[in-house]
Amino acid sequence: MRGNLYIVSAPSGSGKTTLLQNLLRTFRDLRFSVSYTTRQPRGGEQNGVDYFFVDRPTFLGMVERGEFLEYAEYYGQLYGTARSFVEQQLEAGKDIILDIDVQGARQVKTKFEDAIAVFSLPPSFVELERRLRSRMLESDEAIRRRLDIAKGEILFYRDYDYIIVNDVLENSILLLESIVRCGSAVASHQKHRIEEIIASFGGTV
């Protein structure tokens, strides 16, 4: 049986990374697709684990050869998901999760309409601002830019199957786990198994 493809998107600062880390600890079989990016590694980030770090000409070469399932420019840097990895894993029956932005999610949804897309939202603008400031990582200017981008991103919520309003972290973790668990029960993903059961009843689909 083919694996399920999950997409998680969220405005920067809404707590997505923590959610994904928890999810991957719970579902050991879930494969995380490591993105390619032209941006520089930040402290502690490892090549091949957090991202594949490549230079711009390399990235653009991959674009030309159609090697990306989706790619997008964000803050002047390119980010992309390798098509071959995703397709191989799904064919092998593995579930995959993509951590991609709203532009990327839309591209993937047009290619894999069965993909299960989750959008994590902060409970309010004020709370998102508070979270970004509490990281104390960035200038006022950078934070304002992130908030502006978030304003645009949340308007894409209609592209998503599920919305997690990330208010109480434990609840959001449980909700994302439930969504992934449900994936294996989505009727349209189980045609093959259901056909077998119907055949065992002596029926035809």
Query: Interface residues with a copy of itself (CB under 8 A)?
Result: 118-119, 121-126, 150-151, 154-155, 157-158, 160-165, 174-175, 177-179, 181-182, 184-187, 190, 193-194, 197-198, 200-203, 205
CB 9 within 8 A of CB 118: yes
Residue 181 Cβ, how far from a copy of itself at the closest point, in Å? 4
Residue 16 Cβ, how far from a copy of itself at the closest point, in Å? 15
Nearer to a copy of itself, 77 or 171 (CB): 171
**What token pair was written down for 138?**
């960035």
Outline where 66-161 has alpha helix (H): 83-91, 102-111, 125-134, 140-153
The position carrying tokens 């894993």 is 89
Residue 174 Cβ, how far from a copy of itself at the closest point, in Å? 7
CB 16 within 8 A of CB 99: yes
**What token pair was written down for 13?**
């600062």
User: Which amino acid makes up residue 21?
Assistant: Q
CB 22 within 8 A of CB 132: no
Residue 199 Cβ, how far from a copy of itself at the closest point, in Å? 9
Nearer to a copy of itself, 82 or 118 (CB): 118
Nearer to a copy of itself, 25 or 181 (CB): 181
What backbone phi and psi angles, to 5 degrees, belong to 157? -60, -25
Residue 105 Cβ, how far from a copy of itself at the closest point, in Å? 12
Nearer to a copy of itself, 1 or 92 (CB): 1
Nearer to a copy of itself, 19 or 62 (CB): 19
CA angle 193-196-199, nearest 5°? 150
CB 33 within 8 A of CB 86: yes
Residue 167 Cβ, how far from a copy of itself at the closest point, in Å? 10
Candidates 40, 95, 99, 41; CA nearest to 70 is: 99
Nearer to a copy of itself, 65 or 192 (CB): 192
